[in-house]
Structure 1
Amino acid sequence: MKTIYKKELARIFKDKKMIFSVFFLPVLLMVGIMALVGSLSKSEMEKIQEHKSIVYMINQPDSFAQFMEAADFNISVKDIATDAEFENAKTKLRDGDADLIIEFPDNFDQVIASYQEGQDVPQIKTYYNPSEDYSSSAYETISTQGLEAYRQILLSQRIGDLNGIQIFTVNTDNPDMVVQDDQKASGKALGMMLPYFITILLFAGAMGLGVDMVAGEKERGTMASLLVTQVKRKSIVLGKVFALMTLSGISSVIYIVVMGVSFPKILGGDSGLNFEVTVEQIVMIGVLLVAIAFLYSSIIVLISVFAKDTKEASTYITPAYMVVLVIGLMTMFTTKDAGTMEYMIPFYNTALALKGILVNEVTMAQYGITLGVTLVLGAVLTVAIAKAFESEKVMNM
């Protein structure tokens, strides 16, 4: 077993290209993708802020025109005088060539000035396209915030001091309104992404190596030579599984360190992430990653045993990879606290535990259940691999 173990490790560590492709290329690609997505998102937000909104006005009163000029909104105003122009403006709004339509009642200023108690309250109508970012931004800025400020101005002109009708305010002077554990908040942000990426990268890395360790050797004919030696087949199995587990464990540590450091920087300096891990968290994550690597290695080697070449093995492993992918996505959008039973579900429990460790919410009992289930399942699969290696029919496929 020791000889097989060393042989598999030597095959990787003696090849600089293999070291780079196994340990560093996947995480560099993932960090690059995240950085690109973050950059594109930031660029899009800047474009929305700099965009000069095209706003069509129907019956725009002088008071609102003065308000808009004083507020200095970044807009281009176009008046609508006829029903045909209104329909044309709605078509442009639907096509993304206009951002907002605001319709005032006729003689709006006179109606406001001559309002008597009991009369109908005049209604301002707005039209926007929620599927267009520019239109949504214009609606939020002008229709929601701008019209509310305009309403307050008109109200103050009618009754004078607004404090006379203002029963209370909410957080107008409360800079300490946010009360949270910054460490927990940062851990929650990281906990949504890191477990998913670590799980996916760990499985993907082990998949490439594990397929070559078994199916690849079958394809090259070296497995047949190995099986006719006096080495026990159980030793061959354990040597390969532990070698793959070691390589996967090393890669997972690299992944989590690089992504843990780069993730806050990718989000930007104003992301608010200020995350520090304790020794206890590092140990818990490290032990769990070893267990995950053991389970994934067992799955990949077991599937590879029943394939005659690497192409067939990759085809068989793809469904398992998709299952891991879907389970990882499920944990990203889980908001409620997981119960003890959920920590008994293989694969799902490891992602939950990683997330719980980062936010300091997983109990030792839940962690122990996750670790036990993962190791036991890995051991069962390893026994199944050993049985498969004993079958000449399977090994001669």
Structure 2
Amino acid sequence: MRALLSTVFRKELRDHLRDRRSVMSALGFTLMGPILFGVMFTVMASWFRKDKPLELPVTGRANAPSLIAFLERSGVELSEPPADYEARIQAGKLDAVLIIPEDYGKAFEAGRTAEVQLVLDNSRNQARATVRRVEQLLSAYSGMLGSQRLLARGVAPQLAMPVKVDEVDLSTPERQAANLLTVIPIFLVFAAFSGGMNVAIDAMAGERERGSLESLLLNPVQREALVAGKWLSTVVFACGAATVCLVAFLLVMHRVPLQDLGVKVRLDAATVLGLWAAVLPLALMASAMQMLLSTFARSFKEAQTYMQVLSLLPTVPGMALVLSPVQSKPWMFAVPVLGQEMLVQELMRGESLGAMPFLMGTVSCCVLALVFLAWTARLLADERIIFGRS
């Protein structure tokens, strides 16, 4: 049995390494997550970069000389807005325009509330950083004037603030980074599923469609050894894809200016090893599940349809954790996919987990992998499966 397993494993591995297009396709899917991550966060960092000059078109600057002086002292580059500024804002060519009405000075001198208008488009994400900086400056200017008016009337400004809230933030840089980088666990799990997908399809549905599987099973071979050999070759590609995805994310995170988003990522060697150990057991289960579905399929295209549906499985727990975060409980680490994504999140938060969550996730994945492999071996003894009869 061991000799047959080794022979099938080497044969499958050699055949799929020859198919360079298939290997490059799987690699492309694996690198899709890190590439999207790098592009998205680089663009976001450019929006929120604090040292970026703040440009603000202002109309009616003569109506509020003190406000204009405050903005200039704060480093704001003021300019005259174009005549069609509303259309430019909607088109994304301008972030915001400040309008100071003519009656601003009269209201200001009379001690009343002087109103200004900030024209913006809240539907444009790119403009939010600029709008927030302008609103913070205007709020600071308003607070400064309010304090001066109270002092001029002999009233302590503290009386207008009976309660002051000072936040005591107990979060660590790792926890803040983990909240922002919630897409990483999803893509790591997706890599474990997609890396060996083509191998599993060709090893079972492909050979069945070509008729080579039928010829192989006519020989006195043990079904369990045959399935195990094909499964191991699938596991190699799945583990390789997960490893490549993890390394790519590490390289991208060191290149993307996350500090401009207020994020500090600290991943030491132990954490990286933990991330790798958390995802790899899922490759065992995913490969076995793909082998089973490929055995059920009567053609290569039918197997691809099954795999497309299966590829959605990693995204369900991940999106649930992003949209509705839950407090992690010990039993959750024993649930495949959910447990792996929670492990990755906890590791990125800098939590000390111990060995038990890793052991629970590994055992659950191995048990399901054995169930799927045994099921696949039983199917190979059914002539309706081998000869394609329903």
Normalising by structure 1, what TM-score? 0.77
1:35 to 24, 33, 38: 38
Tell me, in whole angstroms, the C-alpha distance in 1 between the residues paired with 2:198 and 2:265. Answer: 34
Number of equivalenced pairs: 377
C-alpha distance 341-126 of structure 1, shift in aligned 2 (>3 A): farther
2:325 is paired with a residue whose SS is coil
Tell me, in whole angstroms, the C-alpha distance in 2 between the residues paired with 1:301 and 1:274. Answer: 38
- Given the alignment of the two structures, is residue 64 of structure 1 paired with residue 61 of structure 2, yes or no? no
2:79 is paired with a residue whose SS is strand
Amino acid at match of 2:122: P
1:320 to 307, 310, 317: 310
C-alpha distance 258-78 of structure 1, shift in aligned 2 (>3 A): closer
Amino acid at match of 2:374: V
Relative contact order, CA 8 A, sep 6+: which one is greater? 2
Q: Does structure 2 conserve the Cα–Cα contact (< 8 Å) formed by 1:59 and 1:104?
A: no
Shift of 1:316: 1.7
Q: Does structure 2 conserve the Cα–Cα contact (< 8 Å) formed by 1:104 and 1:123?
A: no
Match of 1:339 in 2: 329
Tell me, in whole angstroms, the C-alpha distance in 2 between the residues paired with 1:202 and 1:274. Answer: 24
2:216 to 226, 231, 241: 226
- Given the alignment of the two structures, is residue 5 of structure 1 paired with residue 16 of structure 2, yes or no? no
- Given the alignment of the two structures, is residue 257 of structure 1 paired with residue 257 of structure 2, yes or no? no
Match of 1:118 in 2: none
Match of 2:381 in 1: 390
C-alpha distance 11-89 of structure 1, shift in aligned 2 (>3 A): closer
1:369 to 348, 360, 367: 360
Q: Does structure 1 conserve the Cα–Cα contact (< 8 Å) formed by 2:192 and 2:241?
A: yes
The structure 1 segments of at least 4 consecutive aligned residues displaced by more than 6 Å after TM superposition are: 88-92, 167-172
Match of 1:76 in 2: 79
C-alpha distance 91-205 of structure 1, shift in aligned 2 (>3 A): closer
Alignment of 1:153-302 (within 5 A): 153=145, 155-156=147-148, 159=151, 164-166=156-158, 180-182=171-173, 192-268=182-258, 271-278=263-270, 282=273, 285-302=275-292
Q: Does structure 2 conserve the Cα–Cα contact (< 8 Å) formed by 1:202 and 1:251?
A: yes
C-alpha distance 53-329 of structure 1, shift in aligned 2 (>3 A): same
Tell me, in whole angstroms, the C-alpha distance in 1 between the residues paired with 2:132 and 2:174. Answer: 32
Considering only aligned residues, what root-mean-square deviation do their CA atoms show, in Å? 4.0
Q: Does structure 2 conserve the Cα–Cα contact (< 8 Å) formed by 1:102 and 1:126?
A: yes
Q: Does structure 2 conserve the Cα–Cα contact (< 8 Å) formed by 1:187 and 1:275?
A: no
Tell me, in whole angstroms, the C-alpha distance in 2 between the residues paired with 1:43 and 1:34. Answer: 14
Q: Which runs of 5+ in 1 are unaligned?
A: 80-84, 116-120
Q: Does structure 1 conserve the Cα–Cα contact (< 8 Å) formed by 2:174 and 2:264?
A: no
Identity between Structure 1 and Structure 2 (%): 16
Alignment of 1:2-151 (within 5 A): 2-13=6-17, 15=18, 17=20, 21=24, 24-44=27-47, 49=52, 52-57=55-60, 60-77=63-80, 99-102=96-99, 106=103, 108-115=104-111, 121-128=112-119, 129-133=121-125, 136-151=128-143
Q: Does structure 1 conserve the Cα–Cα contact (< 8 Å) formed by 2:57 and 2:79?
A: yes
